[in-house]
Amino acid sequence: MNISDLKPIFVLNGPNLNLLGGREPEIYGTSTLAGVKSLCLETARTLDVDLVFEQTNHEGALVELIHRAGAEGSAIVINPAAYTHTSIALLDAIKGVDAPTIEVHLSRPVARETFRAISYVSLAAAGAISGLGAYGYALGIQAAVHLAKARAKFKT
């Protein structure tokens, strides 16, 4: 199978990530969300796969984006932001769709406040990348394509 036959990779971003660049730059870096999107598009281009990039501040909207990714995409890369640590709805959404999911965080939540050490999303994610800033998204997309490709081969 040609990798370009893969359905798009969905890169989904949760609350407050629209503030990147100005938001606690000592923790999250100085890249804006537009900069992160450019990096993601460039990574997808080099891997010859289409990419959908979305951000929302609303939990239900994120659930619906996961459903859409399950129907229209081949894999998910998600930074659920604060919903990582609170949302059983996101966990159930990821478990409910048939798309390998990579969890990405700019910072390293386990090395911060104790409430950030819990990730509901990790219970359903195939893998997780944290602490590498925006570069983690590029690695996440590579991992997502790898898993989607392996799955497509397995199914043929």
Positions marked catalytic: 28, 105
Instruction: Considering only the stretches 44-52, 77-85, 89-97, 146-154, report the one whose residues sit in contact with ligand DQA under the rule CB under 6 A.
Output: 77-85
Specify the residue, 38 or 151, whose C-beta has the smaller distance to ligand DQA.
Answer: 38
84 binding ligand DQA? (CB under 6 A) = yes
The distance of Cα 81 from the centroid of its chain, to the nearest Å, equals 10
Instruction: Considering only the stretches 4-12, 70-78, 87-95, 102-110, report the one whose residues sit in contact with ligand DQA under the rule CB under 6 A.
Output: 102-110
105 binding ligand DQA? (CB under 6 A) = yes
CB of 114 to ligand DQA, least distance (A): 12
Specify the residue, 109 or 140, whose C-beta has the smaller distance to ligand DQA.
Answer: 109
φ, ψ dihedrals at 149, nearest 5°: -65, -45
Residue 90 and residue 81: Cα distance in Å, rounded? 11
Q: Is residue 37 helix, strand or coil? A: helix
CB of 110 to ligand DQA, least distance (A): 10
Specify the residue, 82 or 89, whose C-beta has the smaller distance to ligand DQA.
Answer: 82
Which of 104, 123, 139, 85 minimizes the C-alpha distance to 13? 104
37 binding ligand DQA? (CB under 6 A) = no
Which of 1, 5, 8, 2 minimizes the C-alpha distance to 144? 8
Residue 64 and residue 72: Cα distance in Å, rounded? 12
